Amino acid sequence: MVLGKVVGTITSSSNGIEIPGGRYLLVNKCNQKGQIKNDFLVALDLVSAGNDELVMISESTSARETHTTNNKAIDAIIVGIIDMIDENDKVVYRK
């Protein structure tokens, strides 16, 4: 999985992927402290993430193995909103 910070929403007037209610977000990859890397991706939002939230992203084959994305052309999905990250008994990120 990859960590990322939601920085925007992607809209499209036409879309070849049939996912009812599918919403795509622009995510900037980041480290465990929430520091952005300026490495962006578009991810299908399955958890109603909001702008500036730190999220967990599943990519590649794993992104296509949910009930919603099975056999769909999806490369990245947001699977969780992060509340806290503890690294070596020290909190390095808190929502």
**Smallest Cα–Cα separation from 6: which of 61, 81, 60?**
81
Q: Indicate the fold that domain 1-11+22-54+69-79 takes in CATH.
A: OB fold (Dihydrolipoamide Acetyltransferase, E2P) (2.40.50)
Is residue 36 within 8 Å of 53, Cβ to Cβ? no
Structural domain boundaries of the chain? 1-11+22-54+69-79
What's the whole-model pTM score? 0.87
Mean pLDDT (the chain) is: 90
* ∠ CA 21-75-94, rounded to 5°: 80
Of 80 and 68, which is predicted with more confidence? 80
